Every structure is written in C-alpha cells, then in structure tokens.
A and B are shown apart, each in its own frame.
Chain A
Amino acid sequence: MIRIGAFLVGLFFSGWLIVSAGMGAYAYVTVPAAPTAEHEFHKLPGKVDFSFNGPVGHYDRAQLQRGLQVFREVCSACHSLKYVSFRDFKDLGYSEGQVKAIAQNWPTETPSINPETGEAATRKPQPQDKIPSPYPNEVAARAANNNAAPPDLSLMTKARHDGSNYVHALLTGYTNPPAELKKHFPDSMPGKTTHFNPYFANLNLAMPAPLTTDGQVTYADGNPKPTVDQMAKDVSAFLTWTAEPKLEQRKRAGIATVIFLLIFFGLCIGAYKNVWADKKGVA
C-alpha cells in the first residue's frame, strides 16, 4: 500500500517536472531569451595585490592612513562610516593625540543638544564618538543626491562579492558608455543623473566618478604618487579595514590554531593506532 502510494506520488511529481521541463525547453527554443545589457556589458573586478590577501596577510598601516585621507577628503562628503569610531583609528598606527586631532578636525560635527536649551546642536567629535554622517538623516541624504541616498561604507567591502577588488574596480572603472550599448540597448544608457560603470551591477549608478584626476589628494610624503589607481587601492584597503578590523587578529589566531590542531591530529592518530593495535586483523 505504501509502495503503491509512493509510486503514484513519485509518478506525479517526476512526471509533472518532466512536463514542465519540456514546456520550458520548448519555450526556450521557440522564444530564445533576449540578451540583457547587464549580461553583455557587466565586468567582474580584476585582482589587486593587496597586502592583506592570503592566510598570513596583514594591513599596510601607511596604506590605511592614505586610505583614510582619501575617505576624509573625498568619500566623506556624501558617505557615512557609522560603525567605526575615531578611537578605532589607533589600529591604523595613530597615537592618542593624533586620533584626537583627527576627530577634532573632522569635516562633519557630531549631533548633540545644547546643554542649556535642549535644542539640537552639534559639537566637535571626540575619539569615543562614531564617525559623524555627512547628512543629518536619510531624507536629507536623498534630497541632496537626486533621491539616491549614498550608502554607508563601513561594511561595503563585505557587502559585495569580492568586495576589496570591487571597490577598486568601481572607482577606476568609469568610462563613456560603449557605442554598442547605445546601439543595442538604448534603455540601458545612463540617464541625466546616472553614470556608466561596467563594474556596477546594473551598469549605471548615481555616484559620479569620485576620483577623477591624479593628485586629487595630496599624500603627506608625496610617496607613492596619488594616481587615481593608487588612491582607489588605498581607499579600498581602508574600507577593507573598516569592514573587517579584526582581520589580522583572526589570521594570527588561525595560524596558531591550525598548528595546534595539526599536532593534536597527529596525537589522535597515534592514540588510535595504539588502542587498536591488538584488534586489526585478529580474530
């Protein structure tokens, strides 16, 4: 009885799936799916040789500091970094005093209240504060950016596939839309408020190219040269740090753990062989 029921259920599900597949295949052959602009023009980011790649990778402090500078002078005009505190910048190799100076000189102030009247006010950020957002709220962010609120960047490199390479590719990937795009997919051409970038998922994004000219940011010691490519690398390294500040501790702990476990594994095999020595192949 169970087997007859099972047979009928199996016949129904399998049969209907085969019928559905047949109908799908027929539709596929008769009406081939139209190619999409994303399918034709979207590119995957190239590999950047970051210092934090690989199992023993670590952050390059000088690069993170340069990245912070790019973020502060360029990105922070529109993007927030709300999960990061100023005190975290000590990890970039700054002293307490330097962190305090960075906080005090930050382009945006921290929201606060007037201690006497209770009215909304702002004050200079302190090291314990989170990085203040450039806009007081999302409505303001939308209003200032053609209704496309700039996303928070704290986790950006973990919120996209291959994030560190993606940020670099996106920042250096702005080009004029290819002629074929205009010819075959006129609807996918950038509009008045969007900009073509083959690394962006749907090819057009609201953000105009933020890094446009070499030397846009002046690096303190003039070394390396602040080319667009270098600035993009530095800021993606910085944003990798903001997304994964414990990366170095994690990899260090990982190496130690794996070495310990390899020894443990060896001991377990030894114990196993010892215990079973009198049983293998013996009646």
Chain B
Amino acid sequence: MSFPWAKEYKPSNPFMRYMDEKLPLPRFVYNAIGAGYPVPRNLNYFWNFGVLAGVALVCQLVTGIILAMHFAAESGVAFSSVEHIMRDVNGGWFLRYAHANGASMFFIVVYIHIFRGLFYGSYKPPREMVWHLGLVIFLLMMATAFMGYVLPWGQMSFWGAKVITGLFGAIPLVGTPIQTWLLGGFAPDNAALNRFFSLHYLLPFVILGVIVLHIWALHIPGSSNPTGVEVKDEQDTVPFHPYYTAKDGVGVAAFFLVFATLLFFAPNFLGEPDNYIPANPLATPANIVPEWYFWPFYAILRAFTVDFWFIPAKLLGVLAMFASILLLFFLPWLDTSAVRSGHYRPLFRKFFWFGLGPCIAILGYCGGSHATDGVVLVSQIAAAYYFAHFLIILPLVSRIETPKPLPTSITEAVLAKSGASLQPAE
C-alpha cells in the first residue's frame, strides 16, 4: 500500500526497535497517521472532517461510558436517573450535555464529510469501498443515535421509539410481528429500553471497527484531493505528520470551540423540550419529531400521502426513506463522469449548489416542522428533486457535460493558485 516514496519507520530508541520486532504497532500507526503516509499537498479544510468525526466519536465514547455508570436502564427510573446525573453526580451535567450535544456535533461533521465526498467525487474509483464503508458507518451512527435518544425515557424518547419501530410495522404481512419482536412487546416498554441500552453501548464499538476498515481501505489508493487528479510523484504529496497533523490541529481547535459554545451556552438549543417530560404512553405529543439530524429523512417519510395502487402510502414512505440512503451506495455507478472534482464540472456544480443543497435544507426544515398541508407540499417537491437528483440528473449530467480542463498535476494546481511558476526556485 501507499506510494514508493513513503518514509519508512526507523526507530532509533532501542525499546521501540524491540517493540517493532515483537509487535509492530508503532510502525502501523506511523504508516497510518504518521510521517509514513504521504498525502496530497493540496487538501483544503474540508479534508479535516474525517479526523473530526473520529474526535467526535472518542468524545461520545468517553462521556457515554461514564454516563452508563450512573444511568439506570429501567423504564420506571430511567428518567429520574438522568435527573440524578444532572443534579447529584459530580460534573454530571457536563457529561450529559457533552454527550447529547456531542451527538449533534458528530452528525454535523459527518454530514460535512459526506458532502465533501459528494462534491469532490470521493466515491469514484478507486475509492468505492471507502465510500461504502463510510455509508455503513453512517447507518450505524443513525441506529446508535436513535437508540441513545430513547434512553432518557422522556416523551420524545417514547414516541420516537414508537414511530420508528412502527416503520417496520408498515411491511406487509410480517410487519406487526417484526415490530413486536424488535420492541419485545406491543409498545415501547422496559424490554425495549433494556435492549436499546445494550445495543447503544455495543454499536459505537462496531462503528470503531468499521472506521478501522474505512481508513484501511482509504490508505490503499491514498487520500483524494480537491482537484481530483491522482498523485503522480513525490512532489505532489507531503507526509501526514507533521503537515496534516498540524492542519487537523486547527480543525480540532475550531471543532471544540463550536462544541463548547453549544454545550456551555445553549445545551438544550438542539433538543426538544418535550423530552424533559417523562414518557407517558397515554399522552401523545402535539408534534412528534426526531432529532434534527434525522429531519430530512423524516420529511421524506412523511412526504408520501397517497397510496399507489395496492401499496399503502405509509409503506411507500418507509421504502423511500430507506431508499434515500441506500441509493448513495450506487453513486459510483450512477455518476460515470471521469472527472472527480466538482470544481471542474460546471453543470454538476450548478445542480449540486442550486439543486441538492437547497433541497436538503428544505427537507430538513420540513422534517422539523409541524406537518401542515403547506409543509407536506413543499417537502414533496423537495423529496421529488432529491430522488431525481441522484437517480436521473446525476447519470445524465455525467453523460452530457463537458468538464473544464484538469491541471496536469497536483503541484501544478498548487502553484497556479499561489501564482508561482513551475520552474524550481533558484
């Protein structure tokens, strides 16, 4: 793997030499995120978000493991055990707010990471496997976040669990038995809470495992870059450490600044007030909404209001919601343009910024709003565009578009930007 000019790990310290012989873990780290991994020299700040997602996951693991020491996964006391954490556990308010807002931060950085991949064509060969593993991580994150939201056993926890497991109830014939089996009962109750807690603790470690695969798969072709032109020689790359560790440091500091502002000054801004009301199976909240990071998908779910022949609208909504994510797995074959980067694709770029961007923003807004007639109407149009964008427009654009000329190498692109000439400096 990697490029022939990658630096080799040469420990000078006798202990490290001994380690390298017996268990070459330091060598592995050196080649993965150290000086032994050559990276294109022209990465912009959008390439920080992979590392930031890793940082967010570590924050979630650390705060989550400590929270689990104080939380009681039993439907009778779960809500008050969370209040116990908020009031009586030393620093408990910090841990819980960090974990709840940490989930939002994780999704923010992962969404930016995904959009970076979409714009710069990171899903294209030879990096399809990286993209696919990333989508697996995204699906696992969604499952983990959903189950985590159920644990405080507030009103939105309960009703969210009911609505989401109800999606499986839409499957013809076997739907209701599957829903009952998933919940361990006919409605969310102690059995559901316990298994959600168990899985909420398990899945982050599965995510960690898939991240290892994600990075492993990435390191075979090496990182992509904003021009989408492949690395040609040593001049095009810099060692990951210290160049990108330094650049990621800036990103990490900015990430924590945003995170801290949210956590300390607006910890409930992204949450729903209803989740501070204990779960009550007899009182349905006026507006059941998931957490903000599910809003676009929730809008797609609710956009289907009319039965299609024998398929009920609800089932259509469920199919469309799952399809909206699963279709991303097919992107490497839907977008056939040989040019990766959106910078050199004038038509693709227009559809990306003026089509897909507003479409997702509108879907997000609609998913978080009360489903009035107007909101549903707007979300139907936006959802129609969403499917058309990936399944119809993207393959067509790849076919008819004339891309702009690409730079011959990464180095040329860097020098053109800084106004220097290709001649070596005297």
Given contacts A16-B308, A250-B93, A265-B254, contact A7 B261 (CB under 8 A): no
B86 to chain A, nearest CB (A): 7
Which A-chain residue is minimally distant from B267 (CB atoms)? A250
Whether A271 lies near B376 (C-beta < 8 A) is no
Is A121 an interface residue, CB under 8 A from the partner?
no
**A179 surroundings in chain B (CB, below 8 A):** none
| Residue in B256, B286, B305, B391 whose CB lies within 8 Å of A20 | B305
Q: B383 contacts which chain A residues (CB < 8 A)?
A: 13, 17
Pairwise interchain contact B377-A25, C-beta atoms closer than 8 A: yes
A3 touches B333 (CB 8 A): yes
Contacting residues, chain A, for B391 (C-beta < 8 A) = 6-7, 9-11, 13-14
Q: Is there an interface contact between B80 and A83, defined as CB atoms closer than 8 Å?
A: yes
Interface core residue of A155, A251, A262 (most chain B CB under 10 Å): A155
Q: Is the CB of A13 within 8 A of B387?
A: yes
From 256 to 314 in chain B, residues with beta carbon under 8 angstroms from any chain A beta carbon are: 256-257, 260-261, 263-265, 267-268, 273-274, 276-277, 286, 303-306, 308, 313
Cβ of B93: which chain A residues have Cβ within 8 Å of it? 246, 249-250
Chain B interface secondary structure, helix, strand, loop or mixed?
A: helix
Partner of A21, one of B86, B323, B334, B377: B377
CB pair A254–B260 under 8 Å, yes or no, is yes
B93 (CB) vs chain A CBs: closest residue: A246
Name A14-40 residues within 8 Å CB distance of B: 14-21, 23-25, 27-28, 33
Instruction: Give complex CA distance A243, B276 in Å.
Output: 9
B276 to A, closest residue via Cβ: A159
Kindly state the separation between the CA atoms of A241 and B238 in the bound complex, as whole angstroms.
53
Most chain B CB within a 10 A radius of its CB, from A6, A13, A25, A201: A13
B202 adjacent to chain A (CB < 8 Å): no
Assess whether A281 is in contact with B377, with CB atoms less than 8 Å apart: no
Contact status of A20 and B276, CB under 8 A, knowing A11-B392, A14-B388, A28-B373: no
A275 at the interface (CB under 8 A from B): yes
B304: which A residues are within 8 A, CB to CB? 16-17, 20
CB distance from B39 to the nearest CB of A (A): 12
Interface size range of chain B in the complex: 35 or more
Query: Once bound together, how far apart are the Cα atoms of A249 and B313, in whole Å?
Result: 50
Cβ-based interface call for B213 (8 A): no
- Do B334 and A3 touch across chains, with their CB atoms under 8 A apart? yes
Residues of B within 8 A of A265 (CB): 250, 253-254, 257
**Contact pattern, A 269-281, Cβ under 8 Å of B = 1, otherwise 0:** 1011011100111
Docked CA distance A268–B249 (Å): 6
B residues within 8 A CB of A6? 327, 330, 334, 390-392, 395
Q: How far is the CB of B58 from chain A (nearest CB, A)?
A: 17
Decide: A264 near B253, CB < 8 A? Known: A10-B390, A13-B323. yes
A154 vs B80: C-alpha distance when bound (angstroms) = 11
Q: How many residues of chain A have a CB within 8 Å of chain B?
A: 61
Q: Are B252 and A253 in contact (CB under 8 A)?
A: no
Chain B residues contacting A23 (CB-CB under 8 Å) are 305-306
Q: Tell yes or no: B380 within 8 A of A by CB.
A: yes
Question: B243 touching A261 by the CB < 8 A rule?
Answer: no
Nearest CB of chain B from residue A282's CB, rounded to whole Å: 6
Closest residue of B by beta carbon distance from A252: B264
For A24, the chain B residues whose CB sits under 8 A away are 305, 373, 376-377, 380
A2 to chain B, nearest CB (A): 5
Report the Cα distance A11→B238, complex, angstroms. 45
Cβ-defined partner of B87 (8 Å) among A9, A245, A257: A245
In the bound complex, CA of A281 to CA of B419 (Å): 8
Tell me if B65 counts as interface (CB < 8 A to partner A): no
Residue of B nearest to A280 (CB): B418
Distance A34 CA – B198 CA, assembled complex (angstroms): 47
* B40 CB, nearest partner CB in chain A, Å: 12
Q: How far is the CB of B312 from chain A (nearest CB, A)?
A: 13
- Please give, as numbers and ranges, the residues of chain A lying within 8 Å of B400 by CB-CB distance: none
A154 to B384, CA, bound (A): 45
Give the chain B neighbours of A220 by CB distance below 8 A: none
Which interface residue of A21, A154, A201, A258 has the most chain B CB atoms within 10 A? A21
Q: How far is the CA of A261 from the CA of B262 in the complex (A)?
A: 14
Complex CA distance for A231 and B321, rounded to whole angstroms? 50
CA of A269 to CA of B267, assembled, Å = 28
Is A120 engaged at the interface, CB distance under 8 Å to the other chain?
A: no
Q: Tell me the smallest distance from the CB of B288 to a CB of chain A, in Å.
A: 15
Bound CA–CA A264/B260 (angstroms): 13
- In the complex, A272→B323 CA distance in Å? 42
Q: Does A163 contact B (CB under 8 A)?
A: yes
Would A14 and B376 count as touching, CB distance under 8 A?
Answer: no
Which residues of chain B have C-beta atoms less than 8 A from A163's C-beta?
273
The answer to whether the Cβ of A55 comes within 8 Å of any Cβ in the partner chain is yes
**Contact between B256 and A261, CB atoms less than 8 A apart:** yes
B193 CB–A CB distance under 8 Å: no
**Are the CB atoms of A281 and B418 closer together than 8 Å?**
yes
Residue among A249, A264, A283 facing the most chain B CB atoms (10 A cut-off): A283
Measured CB to CB, the closest approach of chain B to A34, in angstroms, equals 11
For B424, give the chain A residue with the smallest CB separation.
A283
Q: Does B425 contact A (CB under 8 A)?
A: yes
Does residue A123 face the partner (Cβ distance < 8 Å to B)?
Answer: no
CB atoms of B380 and A275 under 8 A apart: no
Residues of A within 8 A of B408 (CB): none
Given A243-B276, A262-B257: 18 more A-B contacts, CB < 8 Å: A7-B395, A9-B387, A11-B391, A15-B384, A20-B313, A83-B87, A158-B276, A246-B87, A249-B93, A264-B253, A264-B256, A265-B254, A269-B250, A276-B243, A276-B246, A281-B420, A283-B423, A283-B425
6 CB contacts below 8 A, A to B, read A10-B388, A10-B391, A251-B265, A253-B264, A254-B260, A283-B424
The 5 closest A-B pairs by CB, nearest first: A254-B264, A10-B391, A281-B418, A21-B380, A17-B384
